[in-house]
Amino acid sequence: MIEPEAYLKEPLPAGESDVMLLRELVAHLRRNRTQLREEWARRITQAQLLTAMSKDEIFKEATSVYDNYVEALETGTMEALQTYARDLSERIIPRGVETHEVVGIVLLLRDVLARSLFAKYQADFALLNCILDAYEPAANRIANTVAVGFVQERERIIMEQQEAIRELSTPVLQVRERLLILPIIGAIDPHRARQLTEQLLGAIRTNRAKVVVIDITGVAVIDTNVANHLVQTVEASRLLGATVIVTGLSPKIAQTLVTIGVDLSKMNTVGDLQGGIEEAEKLLAYKVIASSPTADSA
């Protein structure tokens, strides 16, 4: 992940004159706040950025961004802007705002402000040069900060979602006293396989399970690693005194397993989940009897 804090801490390399110029610049931007802000909002709409947001919202955000931008220019510290950028990202990411849009609007603001500077100082080219020297590094750093803040926020959200998916992806369910099922859906990577095994072993202990049915109907492909993980899971469960039944091996997976020569002699396999549960009930000496006569016997 990108760590922006370090380079943001060091103060802007600004000489005496730069400070003066920046101050003048900030005063100029404050004076023309209304006009520049409107110009910016217009440019945003024109460039068809932030289409997920309404005009009013864009204008409101634009105002805050503008003020924060000017403040960052004035003080040279990025902390407030950084916090704001993170906060803004948190609000707009769920609405589907893309990275290019955020970077786009900040760059637009940079352009709008630069244009206004050109317009103001066009008479005095040397002064304009100095002003731009002061303005550009600061503006670039602001753009950088906002972009990095946005990307970091996105990364954080993605990581949170991955974690959530990971947790959701391994449910261990008790269907009868001492009988657990573990439906596996989707691809299994080594990390997930390890987590699956750990969760299953924990669940065997807490539920005092004797039989576990692992259903892999939802697993599309299997390779040597995954097959070995499966074998390990079966063996580890046995060490805790639980029998494992694997169900739902598709024809393709069965072929793969035989072709790659995984030793599945220790695995107890049954065609489908229903068969697996019936087999497990047999092992646990359960007997399921229909309470009313079934249609064909009536």
Partner 1 sequence: MEVPILKQGAYLIASVQSALADAEMIQLRDALVDKVGKFRSRGVIVDVTVLDVVDSFATRTLRDLAHMIRLRGAETVIVGIQPEVAFAMVQLGLTLEGVGTALDLEEGLAFLNQKTQSVE
**241 near partner 1, rule: CB under 8 A:** yes
Choices 104-112, 145-153, 179-187, 237-245 (CB under 8 A): range interacting with partner 1: 237-245
Least distance from partner 1 to the Cβ atom of residue 237, Å: 8
Q: Which CB, 94 or 202, lies closer to partner 1?
A: 202
**Residue from 12, 185, 236, 283 that binds partner 1 (CB under 8 A)?**
236
**202 near partner 1, rule: CB under 8 A:** yes
Q: Which CB, 205 or 252, lies closer to partner 1?
A: 205
**Residue from 8, 114, 117, 240 that binds partner 1 (CB under 8 A)?**
240
Cα–Cα–Cα angle for 196, 199, 200, rounded to 5 degrees: 80
Structure tokens at 237: 């469960």
Angle between helices 55-75 and 16-31 (to 10 degrees): 160
**Residue from 65, 242, 246, 267 that binds partner 1 (CB under 8 A)?**
242
Binding mask 143-182 for partner 1 (x = CB under 8 A): ----------------------------------------
Choices 13-21, 81-89, 131-139, 234-242 (CB under 8 A): range interacting with partner 1: 234-242
**Residue from 23, 60, 166, 238 that binds partner 1 (CB under 8 A)?**
238
**210 near partner 1, rule: CB under 8 A:** yes
Backbone torsions φ then ψ of 175, nearest 5 degrees: -100, -30
Choices 143-151, 195-203, 251-259, 274-282 (CB under 8 A): range interacting with partner 1: 195-203
**205 near partner 1, rule: CB under 8 A:** yes
Cα(244)–Cα(113) distance, integer angstroms:
68
**193 near partner 1, rule: CB under 8 A:** no
Choices 65-73, 108-116, 157-165, 230-238 (CB under 8 A): range interacting with partner 1: 230-238
Q: Which CB, 114 or 240, lies closer to partner 1?
A: 240
Q: By the criterion CB under 8 A, which residues form the site for partner 1?
A: 197-198, 201-202, 204-205, 208, 210, 232-233, 235-242
